[in-house]
Chain A
Amino acid sequence: MQSNCSLTKVYSFSAAHRLHNDKFSDQKNLEIFGKCNNLNGHGHDYSLELTIGGEIDIETGMIIDINKLDELVGVVVDELDHKRLDIEIDHFSEVRASGENIAKYLWDKIVVLIPKPSYLSHVRLWETSENFFDYKEGK
């Protein structure tokens, strides 16, 4: 049954990254990644908007228990918080720590943790107040 209700919770974390690909020459890295290629990295205050879509439980009046959601997502977000992503997070040693890839990483990590995985409907990752990246699967 298709639901017509969703709940969105916002989480924040701050992290540094450098966009760089060893396969490319220094010049090509600079050409593609611009100032994001800065040798010593740079950082952002990220904001993650997580949307859970599903039926409102008759007993609780909730789609999902927000306290539980906070706990689960907190673990994932805390791993990234105040880290240099491409150095300290294994996943980003080979995969560029771009907004697109971080959004997908967050989806993949969170979808296996939440009680009803099919309820995860949308991840929006704000990198700055001007850029955001959306990731969703299926539907």
Chain B
Amino acid sequence: MGEYTTLTKKIEFSSSHRYWKEEWSKSKNLEVFGKCTSKYGHGHNYVLETTVQGPVDDDTGMIINIYKLKPILKDTLKEFDHKFLNVDTDYFDDLIPTTENFAKVLYECISEKLSNEECELKKVRLYETKDLFVEYWMDEDAE
């Protein structure tokens, strides 16, 4: 693979979630998801690192103008920021809002929003807490 340059933008937002699988008994839910099953949800200050990759424009010296990228990301996060993920969004009706699934959802949302740009979404890293993060990246086979 040849040389490439990436740009990563970091944004913090806050959401609540609950891990619960209707098909399972209460005891099985508790066994698998522990305190994350708490009925009314609990919250995190998530930090999302979005990494884009693409050619560096000769005129601007940029992969994408941050002034353009930031509103795209903010707009994406509007659906999730200060929301209860299970109830206030449609993404988790049949999907447990684990950090893994949340990272995948965010990857897909941002990727779609960037589809008209020169750059492409390389990777998202989603911190749930400062000592736990999930990365979801481009499927190389699909390129």
Contacts and interface: CB of A to CB of B under 8 A. Distances in A.
A63 B136 CA distance: 12
B96 A61 contact: yes
Contacts of B130: 10
A63 B100 contact: yes
Contacts, number: 57
B46 interface: no
A33 B25 CA distance: 58
B139 interface: yes
Interface secondary structure of B, over-half rule: mixed
Nearest to A67: B34
A2 B141 contact: yes
A5 B103 contact: yes
Interface residues of A, number: 18
Given A5-B100, A7-B99, A60 B32 contact: yes
A134 to B, nearest CB: 15
Contacts of B133: 7-8
25 contacts: A2-B141, A4-B139, A5-B103, A5-B134, A5-B136, A6-B134, A6-B135, A7-B100, A7-B133, A8-B132, A8-B134, A10-B132, A56-B100, A59-B21, A60-B21, A60-B32, A60-B33, A60-B96, A61-B19, A61-B95, A61-B96, A61-B98, A62-B100, A63-B100, A67-B34
